[in-house]
Chain A
Amino acid sequence: MAAVKKIGAYICKGCGLDDRLDCGQLETVATREGKASPCKSHDFLCSQAGVDMIAEDIKSEELTHVVIAACSRRAKTEAFNFETVAISRANLREGVIWVRPDTDEARETTQEMADDYVRMACAEAKFTTQPPGNTEDKTACRHLLVVGGGITGMTAALEAAKAGYAATIVEKSAQLGGVVGQLSKRIATTAPFTELPDNGVAAMAAEIAANDKITVHLNSTVTRTSGAPGRFAADISTESGSTVTENFGAIVQASGFKPYDMGQLSEFNPDNADVVDQMGLEALVKEANGGAIKRPSDGKEIRSVAFIQCAGQRSQKEGHLSYCSGHCCQTSIKQAMYFKQLDSDIDAVVMFTDLRTPGAGGENFYRAGQDSGVTFTKSVASEISAGDSGPKVKFDDLLLNENVEQEFDLVVLATGMVPNSGVDIEAEAAAPAEGEAADSDVVASVPVESILNLDYRQGADVPQLVHGFTDSHFICFPYETRRTGIYTAGPVRRPMDAVQAMDDAAGAAMKAIQAIENANLGRAAHPRSGDLSYPLFRKEGCTQCKRCTVECPFGAINEDEDRYPEFNEERCRRCGTCMGACPVRVISFDNYSIDTVGQALKAVDIPDEFDEKPRTLVLACENDAYPALDMAAMNRVEYSAFTRIIPVRCLGSVNTIWLTDALNSGYDGIILMGCKKGEEYQCHFVKGSEIAHIRMSKIDDTLQQLNLETERVEVYEIAITDVERAPKLINDMAETIEKIGMSPFKF
């Protein structure tokens, strides 16, 4: 990295910029105020000739920074990608001429807008450094830790090994295979759908044993996990108490599920030996070993069997599972087929409300069940009691609209999946301290064993999304983890069947491998893919207030022995929430800091009070609000010429000093545009928008101290589709300012 900063500025005259703006004036601003040298204009900057001109200058002038004054940073990104220099973009097209009318009277304020964006880009450049990335040797450990040896974990290990990565499976029980290992047969997924395949576990276990890239620890658990992607360290402890510590590059958590405890369903007579759950039936089928399936109470051959779907599931009753476990409809069809394939005269009835067999395979399997003579009846079972010849089921037939009682030799309850996700760290954080709840009527819950025993400040396991499942919060990104380098797969992530779990295992293994490769280069995972910066921390100024360690959405920051924050580089996703949180401003990034934004906003020319040209600062989330404003420009939706927009990584990165600085330098209004917060949050940095709302609620005090109206600062949730709303909110602020008057803080 060159020690001397040298900024070149390049101004585009294309796309009508030269018609609408005085580009000579922009050059003067860049040169005189921005101290850019060289500073050149080009008729068509993104053309090969324009790009070559810049590339040539970077070489001959030894530029470290390049200011591109042209279109939005979202446009022509590949053309203006010069890897060795830091780049700042002044958005003159989407940010200025496309949102302003082409009229004589608008000309002056439009030019002022453009001048300011050039000043801001130059200021940003001055305080940015191109981050070097991971400059150390590429030492990231190309070895996956797979926690759980069911088919999800086994698949993850095998798939990773096929790609050339080593894997270690840690399995709590004495053998591989998990729940699927206890099944007689699996659901058929290919034509003709009547041939039920073996559970496949033995073959996989043999493949694992023969693979020298895979190590297996049975009767073992992970008792401590520390480190970061590329350099995790895990203590693997056996039942007998011996512990080994090994290094891993990334982790796949495939800790599976427990079947719901059918003992809780008292209405279904769970103590009756002839009422079993789906796993109970699998055991009976295995026991029968191809012969007649016999009922547990008296060993009588089963001639009639009922399957009650959604037992204790899809129900709001206390102790029930509110969700659907996804696999149980197909599992019951399979189990009914066990009987039908033995003897088509055996009566097999499936009682369901909605039969859920989606996709091509699912529907074919349902049809195969129907063809083999299984009876499907839309009904709700309400009670099981002991009948004369077997359990008696009371149910409402929803189609015939009548109450029926019928005895069967065996009843199978299709109960749900309960994920093995370890400690609910959020509930733990919210729980009252020990002693406080002593005399409340809250039932003390059984302590849950942690799966990963992370030594992270935020808790011992990965955060749960809902109902104990550790799924990602995002539709588009099922592996968007909140613990970088740790990916959950299989039914611990979301209810799913075996086939899906195996696909999921491959997906999670993919992300784990990617986390290792990212760690090697010091590169961020999405949404800031490829970002090579790390949080830089100036320890001398730190007051140990802990805000950064508490607010980091990714658990990247621990506390060291002296209670200072300890940054774990590759856990970081570069959102800047720590930077926004820090009251003494000792956290920054090479390419994003208190100064890159703070100096940009201060570079704006603030006309004095009597010019009647107010200034509104907009800090816009780069993922949603900024693109929405770009698209507004593409559709020529106009907004106030007094607006100056700065994209931020996340509203969570907004440090209140920026607002104080802006108010002190005479801005008349400030708008913060972030993502949706709350339960269905849209922020890919989890709580950024929410934290910003909380921080800004305190800005009112500052405003009052300055004797300013509270309406001057607004925080909004903006979606990427708010193409018309976002400009409207800007114009609303302009109106507000007109009403309440200019800020007195103009110098």
Chain B
Amino acid sequence: MTEVVATNQTIVVVGGGISGMTAALEAAECGKQVILLEKNPALGGRVSQMYKYFPKMCHPTCGMEINLRRIKANSNIRVMTMAEVTNVSGDTGDYTLNVTVQPRYVNENCTACGACRDAVETEFDNEFNYGLNKRKGAYLTSNMAYPQRYVIDPRMIGTADADKAKAACKYDAVDLDMQAEDLEIKAGSIVWATGWRPFDAAKIQPYGYDRIANVITSVELERMMDPMGPTGGKILRPSDGKEAKDIAFIQCAGSRDRNYLKHCSRICCMASLKQTTYLREKYGDDGKATVYYIDIRAIDRFEDFYQKVQADDNVSFIKSKVASVTEDKATGNPVLNGNNLEQSGMGKDMRYANPHELVVLAVGMEPSVDFNALNVGLSVNEEGFIERDPGNGGMFAAGCAADALDVNRAVQSATASSLRAIQVVNQVAGAEG
């Protein structure tokens, strides 16, 4: 049984992406006791799957390295992976969380030497790469995986391959009999930093993500750009594996649309502007990007970035909500159909049917946890994000659990939430003398 030491002065942070890591670290570096829960086998969340950040075009793993170093150096933080909250009871300053920890089948003896990975043969879709390639049944989620400890895929259990993994480990780290555990954890305050997931593109029927090979999502493009990723850093068309140089970006794919997500996901405009620069990075003057948009929301000083992209002759902008995407069977090119609003004028027909080599859907953000279903007493808005509400007591939202936010604003939100959690546990400490 896992031992967890926690009191009503402990802060529990749910979610180990950049918001959760930040909330946990800021509190721990103030001397608070923090438990950081992460559902996946490793910390890092969505941003660890990004190639570059707008507007600086720097690499997310750089900041992650710093945050991981902070975590490794701080004994106030206890990281628990593969852990999910199933219920919360109690009140401000005195919560009890029910947490289920899924078996990793690898214990802390693991040195990440990779012998188990080399021993097994079975492969599964690699979720870190949104299924764009395969990974072994014994695996590290990524090069930056922390804890740096292997995982055995649960689908391996009971197979001969799993036994091979066990046999290959010299350190007794593979434990195929590991079971799920239900834990109770005390907390004075809880920070929900459960983040977001990309909106399911297949639901946007007219855009054909589920049936046209060369329609991909923005998050998939990020994985393709990673030199260590599924395509070795190349933008390849799924249909024929050829490099795509003429790419269309469809904005608000699922966002600002009553049929899908009502809200604006905030990041997608900047994400697509950023991705247009990937074409320049890869192909110089040979790349061509076309952005189909309603409003370009390059808010505050992101505007500088928008202006830089606008100045690029190889990037064009069409104000239009794309009506549908069809496929040119001969070339595999997706064809975008719609009406160019900007030059329509009175009675003029500005309909278009534009073929491109690849279409990238700028998919929206939705909260990754259904807080209504979880039913732990949080006030949730129509879009599913946690509202700022005194009724939430000692529970606070950080990052994209609170709203559709970019990384910078998510970290800002997480830092603020960390203070609010500290206020609660300091009041508990004060009351207890």
* Residue A305 CB within 8 A of the other chain: no
- Are A526 and B70 neighbours in the complex by a CB distance under 8 Å? yes
- Are B30 and A513 neighbours in the complex by a CB distance under 8 Å? yes
- Are B342 and A398 neighbours in the complex by a CB distance under 8 Å? yes
CB-contact partner of B404 in A15, A76, A191, A360, under 8 A: A360
* Residue A112 CB within 8 A of the other chain: no
Given contacts A324-B301, A360-B264, A684-B66, 20 further A-B contacts (CB under 8 A): A44-B111, A75-B148, A356-B299, A476-B407, A478-B408, A478-B411, A496-B300, A500-B409, A507-B416, A510-B422, A514-B29, A526-B25, A527-B69, A623-B66, A627-B65, A631-B143, A682-B62, A719-B59, A720-B59, A721-B226
CB-contact partner of A680 in B56, B341, B404, under 8 A: B56
Separation of A417 and B430 alpha carbons in the complex (Å):
41
* Residue B181 CB within 8 A of the other chain: no
- Are B300 and A363 neighbours in the complex by a CB distance under 8 Å? no
| Distance to closest chain B CB from A21 (angstroms) | 15
- Are A323 and B60 neighbours in the complex by a CB distance under 8 Å? no
- List 26 A-B pairs, Cβ < 8 Å: A44-B109, A75-B112, A77-B69, A77-B72, A191-B382, A324-B300, A324-B301, A324-B302, A356-B297, A357-B297, A359-B403, A359-B404, A362-B263, A399-B344, A400-B344, A402-B346, A476-B64, A476-B408, A477-B66, A496-B300, A500-B409, A518-B29, A525-B29, A529-B29, A529-B74, A682-B62
A595-631 CB mask vs B (1 if < 8 Å, else 0) is 0000000000000000000000000000110010001
- Are A476 and B299 neighbours in the complex by a CB distance under 8 Å? no
- Are A323 and B381 neighbours in the complex by a CB distance under 8 Å? no
- If A475-B408, A476-B63 touch, whether A363 touches B422 (CB-CB below 8 Å) is no
| Distance to closest chain B CB from A49 (angstroms) | 11
- Are B299 and A326 neighbours in the complex by a CB distance under 8 Å? yes
Task: Give the chain A neighbours of B285 by CB distance below 8 A.
Answer: none
* Residue A46 CB within 8 A of the other chain: yes
Q: Chain A interface mostly helix, strand, loop or mixed?
A: loop
- Are A474 and B63 neighbours in the complex by a CB distance under 8 Å? yes
- Are B345 and A400 neighbours in the complex by a CB distance under 8 Å? yes
- If A363-B264, A517-B31 touch, whether A680 touches B58 (CB-CB below 8 Å) is yes
- Are A719 and B62 neighbours in the complex by a CB distance under 8 Å? yes
- Are A469 and B301 neighbours in the complex by a CB distance under 8 Å? yes
The chain B residue sitting closest to A161, CB to CB, is B423
- Are B298 and A510 neighbours in the complex by a CB distance under 8 Å? no
* Residue B316 CB within 8 A of the other chain: no
* Residue B53 CB within 8 A of the other chain: yes
* Residue A401 CB within 8 A of the other chain: yes
* Residue B40 CB within 8 A of the other chain: no
Task: Give the chain B neighbours of A362 by CB distance below 8 A.
Answer: 263-264, 266
- If A356-B297, A530-B74 touch, whether A163 touches B263 (CB-CB below 8 Å) is no
- Are B171 and A47 neighbours in the complex by a CB distance under 8 Å? yes
| Distance to closest chain B CB from A42 (angstroms) | 12
A420-443 CB mask vs B (1 if < 8 Å, else 0) is 000000000000000000000000
A16, A44, A81, A363 — which one has the most chain B CB atoms within 10 A of its CB? Answer: A363
| Distance to closest chain A CB from B211 (angstroms) | 29
Q: 6 closest Cβ contacts across the A-B interface?
A: A476-B63, A506-B416, A507-B415, A358-B266, A510-B419, A401-B345
Separation of A378 and B344 alpha carbons in the complex (Å):
13
* Residue B413 CB within 8 A of the other chain: yes
Task: Give the chain A neighbours of B387 by CB distance below 8 A.
Answer: 190
| Distance to closest chain A CB from B407 (angstroms) | 5
| Distance to closest chain A CB from B368 (angstroms) | 15
- Are A720 and B423 neighbours in the complex by a CB distance under 8 Å? no
Separation of A294 and B344 alpha carbons in the complex (Å):
38
* Residue A455 CB within 8 A of the other chain: no
- Are A400 and B346 neighbours in the complex by a CB distance under 8 Å? yes
- Are A507 and B419 neighbours in the complex by a CB distance under 8 Å? yes
B276-299 CB mask vs A (1 if < 8 Å, else 0) is 000000000000000000011111
Separation of A142 and B409 alpha carbons in the complex (Å):
27
* Residue B314 CB within 8 A of the other chain: no
